[in-house]
Structure 1
Amino acid sequence: MTIQSLNAATTGEDEAGTRAPTLFIDATGLLLWPPGRALAGIPRIEEFLVKAALADPDPAVEVVAFRAAECRFEALAPFEQDYWAASGIAPFRARRRPGTMEALSQALRSVRRYPWGKRDADRHLAMTVTSGKKGPGFRAVRLLIRAYRSYRRVLGRLGWRQEVPNRPVDAERSLVLISNHILTREDRSAISGDAKGFAFICHDLIPVLRPDLVGSSPAEKAFGTYLEGLVRSGATAFCTSAEASVTLTDHMRQAGIAPPVIHRFPMPSILYETASRLDMTSRFEPDEPFVLYCSTIEVRKNHIMLARIWRQALEDGVSLPRLVCVGRRGWMVEALNAYLKAHPELAGPVTFTGPISDEELIRHYRSASFGVFPSHIEGWGYGASECLDFGVPVIVSKTPSLIEATGGLMPAIESTDQAGWYAAIRRMAEDTEWRSSLTDRIARQHRPTPAAASWAAIKAGLRAGRSRPPEALG
């Protein structure tokens, strides 16, 4: 793995002799999401990291992305910076937009040095030349780059191939916080051998702890092995919860590997900060009361139990508020789909909205009667902590991370106890005094976590990971 064209990774100074970046935030996974797509879960955290780094005036911080075709991390192109900047890019970091001919020359030079790239690389280079604009010009440039790449490949086969330079990260002075895309081994060439110059965020170990609740792709199957390799090679870990820290440490010890240096950071109240900027934090009464569950629709989130509870309520003649499930559909939802198809009477009392915008989600939190989060296992559980941010009582499962995310303030029930959930949901819907007492508890004991506090903790951990002596790597 190399960080080419980032002088800070190898020298600590830029060409002008000023201090250059030594802490790199990897945006690779984030750049793969389509523009305008509503982000949730891990992508939302990565968006927070990238935006915080771009807005940070600290010259020690830089945002990079892994270019698989060239086997290197690079600073973001100007159009990528503009797209993900939070409220303006730190002035020293803003990259001058090259003219069209200069950008085209740079793109062709990149192809000349790395002719074995794929179509994604050509697309990115064409976007750089056209400043992110698509159209006839973009298509023409992409075809030109592709043709030139084919030509260079022919030369390579004739013995003119130029090898990619190997300039490793200086592990004593630089640290790259890799994205989840790299962590899940979708870009295997990003890290090889010594990982002392890298850090990763351990959101959870669900593929290892509960493989029955995740997909069966090669990435999920290899997750534990790859994580062990990273830790064994000296990578630094950041955990989103105390529970993740414990499970990561326990897993490594059971595998006979010295646990990594682990840094904790408080999960930022990203959506609440957005609501505050928009002056949209006050509660209001909706036209119809509803219960909110904000989460990806997948088997481990346990939506099927909620569907069974709402059907039981219909059979019992119990009037529950409408259940609103917000989130995109994920893996292993066949059983849920079959259940909903077999019980069309649930189409009214149970609504699946799909992904929605942040503004819409904020309105849901501001007006929900209460929330539910019956997931079987979690790394954190953003939908639960966001309920508290907006002053909404929420019933959670007894998964340790969910109890942690809600500060132990909310009622918790085993995820498999359908009778217990039915009783708690009925009580929350019918006992307004109990619900009000939980709302008061939130107001007294919970405070949203400022994004600045999370970013400061991450930076402190990165600095500590960069400066620790080699013997501390275990």
Structure 2
Amino acid sequence: MTVERSDAGAVTADGEATMPPGRVSLAIDATGLMLWPAGKGLAGIPRVESFLVNAALADTDPCVEVVALRPNGKFRPLAPYELDHVAAARISPHRVKRWPGRRTALSQAFQAVRQQPWDKRETDRHLAKTVTNGRKGVAYQATRLLIRAYRLYQRARIRLGSEPDAPGQSPEAKPGLVLISHHVLTQHDRSAVSSAGKLAFLCHDLIPTLRPDLIGAGIGETRFGSYLEQLVRTGAPAFCASDEVGATLTDHMRKAGIAAPVVYRFPMPSILHETASRMSATSRIETSEPFVIYCSTIEVRKNHILLARIWQQALQEGVKLPRLVCAGRWGWMIEPLRAYLKDYPELLRSVTFTGLVSDEELIQYYRSATFGVFPSHIEGWGYGASECLDFGVPVIVSTAPSLIEASGGLMPAVDPNDQAGWYAAIRRMADDHAWRSSLAERIAQNHRPTPASASWAAIKAGLRESASRQQFETAAP
């Protein structure tokens, strides 16, 4: 029963907010984030998706939802255990869902089976998790088998021509416009996703299409270009953090003979700096040993092998460079780097690979780094470069256009294949205190971290405009 109503929507007796009449719901897809291990440090795309999901969870607007793609190809609101998995901060009260208890959850699972009796085993696994509130173990396995048996029973009734059990009504409404996660963009069958409703997508980059030689050969990478093209053909708008990626996407579609998508540019949020601000941990820390920071997944595209060669060259020439700290998890196509490190084991005395680090550890690195490097061959943005600026750390970047954009054109840039140029720039940055200080001053005068709220406002405004446009086009005769 509705007890209160305003232009913003309604509030039910149990505290649920409802969407105001005439407004289209906007949804952020958390499917990709659900696959990231809880409690593990986030980097790159998962960090951006965590920001989006948590901004939507904290938003009091009843038109905003957080959803995940189910095995049946439909988006549905998150179950309580999924909320627990993805939530990193405050959740708007009307969005909090409590586990209804095993008996009620099992009844709802059976109802879902009756509605979609031909769904696959993956659906049964998801339903079992909703019944056990995400807990694994004997109860989960028993529940999964029970749900599977009930599904087979329903199918048998249908095949035998018996009247199937009444499916009941679904309490979940299909969202109006969904900003899909990178996982849905690259890993799911397009025909399944196309039936899920109106979609929008974050275009982080077009690297799998532009430089397939720098990407693994997984099915998501090899089909990336065709996936994008199918999405754009449906009228899905794109959200890009850099002008470079927006222009590249438009050019790619033009060459493919496809009408360019509507592109919304949003400012990349300074998520880590915002975390540091809440911790009162943004000021510089002086360390006894200078070091250089490179925060990035270790993969062929990021060009760590260039840095390894430079530090090895310095060792051979008797030149003392600051320690190189490579913060990030080990990724793919890094066999040449591993072979190089095996050939020059003494290099590990001056180069440290930290593996995946927590936000707290990464903040400490940025606060105390002498300077940063980012020699990547190609980027959609380059978080490690903009994070250096957020913490006032000078950084040498490659000439990849998005990296120059991410660093505001304020920092020195060197071609990623120019080892001599990088060696000279790193030596100068290490030895020339006056130059390093002038770059730090340039950052202080010209760069400001981007609040997450500003990024969310831009994305939400773009989604709302796109939803309104699509609604108008659908209603037009």
Deviations 1:171-224 (Å, cap 9, x if unpaired)?
A: 9x92111111111143434422797x1100111011111111111122111111
* Cα contact 1:28–1:66 (8 A) shared by 2: yes
> Cα–Cα, structure 1 residues 471 and 365, in superposed 2: closer, same or farther, change >3 Å?
same
Structure 1 residue identity aligned to 2:77: A
Paired letter, 2:340: Y
* Mapped contact 2:17–2:62 kept (Cα < 8 A): no
**2:19 partner letter:** R
> What is the letter of the counterpart of residue 406 of structure 1?
S
Indicate the SS of the match to 2:52.
helix
**Cα distance in 2, alignment partners of residues 186 and 329 from structure 1:** 25
2: distance between equivalents of 1:346 and 1:47? 36
Any stretches of 5+ residues in structure 1 without a counterpart? 1-11
Structure 2 CA distance, aligned partners of 1:156 and 1:360?
Answer: 57
* Cα distance between partner residues in 2 of 1:360 and 1:206: 29
1:15-30 alignment, distance < 5 Å: 18-19=18-19, 22-30=25-33
347-356 vs 108-117, which moves further: 108-117
Identity of aligned residues (%): 66
Q: Which runs of 4+ in 1 moved over 6 A?
A: 12-17, 160-165
Whether contact under 8 Å (1:241, 1:404) holds in the other structure is yes
Aligned to 2:300: 299
Corresponding position of 2:408: 407
Structure 2: unaligned runs, 5 residues or longer: 1-8
Name which of 89, 107, 110 aligns with 1:108: 110
SS of the residue 2:194 aligns to? coil
Give how far 1:33 is off: 1.2
Looking at structure 2, the residues matched to 261 and 102 of structure 1 have their Cα atoms a distance apart, in angstroms, of 44
**Corresponding position of 1:308:** 309
Deviations 1:14-44 (A, max 9, x none): 9999426610111111111121121111111
Q: CA separation in 2, counterparts of 1:128 and 1:336?
A: 43
Could you tell me how far apart the structure 2 residues matched to 1:436 and 1:282 are? 16
Q: Distance in 1 between matches of 2:442 and 2:453?
A: 25
What is the aligned counterpart of 1:42 among 42, 45, 55? 45
Aligned with 1:83: secondary structure? helix
Per the normalisation by structure 2, the TM-score is 0.90
Task: After superposition, give the CA deviation of every residue in 1:101-154 in whole Å (9 maximum; x if it has no partner).
Answer: 001111122233334444443333222222233344333323333343444455
Contact kept, 8 Å, 2:79 with 2:130, in 1: the verdict is yes
With over 3 angstroms needed to count, the CA separation of the structure-2 counterparts of 1:141 and 1:210, relative to structure 1, is same
Match in the other structure for 1:462: 463
Report the TM-score when normalising by structure 1: 0.90
The aligned counterpart of 1:141 is 143
Does the aligned pair in 2 maintain the 1:272–1:389 contact within 8 Å?
Answer: yes
What displacement does 1:225 show?
1.1
Larger displacement relative to structure 2 (125-134 or 306-315) = 125-134
Partner of residue 8, structure 1: none
2:17 and 2:94 in contact (8 A); partners too:
no
Q: Distance in 2 between matches of 1:385 and 1:131?
A: 39
Distance in 1 separating the partners of 2:449 and 2:359: 17
Matching residue within 85, 92, 95 for 2:94: 92
SS of equivalent to 1:288 = coil
SS of 2:325's equivalent in the other structure is strand
Q: Name the count of aligned residue pairs.
A: 458
- CA gap of 1:158–1:220, structure 2 versus 1, over 3 A, is farther
Does the CA contact (< 8 Å) of 1:82 and 1:89 recur in 2?
Answer: no
Deviates more, 1:461-470 or 1:446-455: 461-470
Matching of residues 267-306 of structure 1 within 5 Å: 267-306=268-307
- Opposite residue 360 of structure 2, the aligned amino acid is E
The 8 Å contact of residues 52 and 86 in structure 1, kept in 2 or not, is answered as no
Letter in 2 for 1:382: Y
CA distance in 2, matches of 1:162, 1:305: 65
Q: Select between 89-98 and 51-60 the one with higher mean Cα deviation.
A: 89-98
Find the aligned partners of 1:230 and 1:423 in 2 and give their Cα distance: 45
CA distance in 2, matches of 1:338, 1:149: 52
Amino acid at match of 2:211: R
Change (3 A) 1:428 1:222: same
CA distance in 1, matches of 2:126, 2:195: 28
Q: Is the 8 A contact 1:237 1:262 kept in 2?
A: yes
Conserved? CA contact 1:236–1:465, under 8 Å: yes
Q: Is residue 398 of structure 2 the alignment partner of residue 377 of structure 1?
A: no
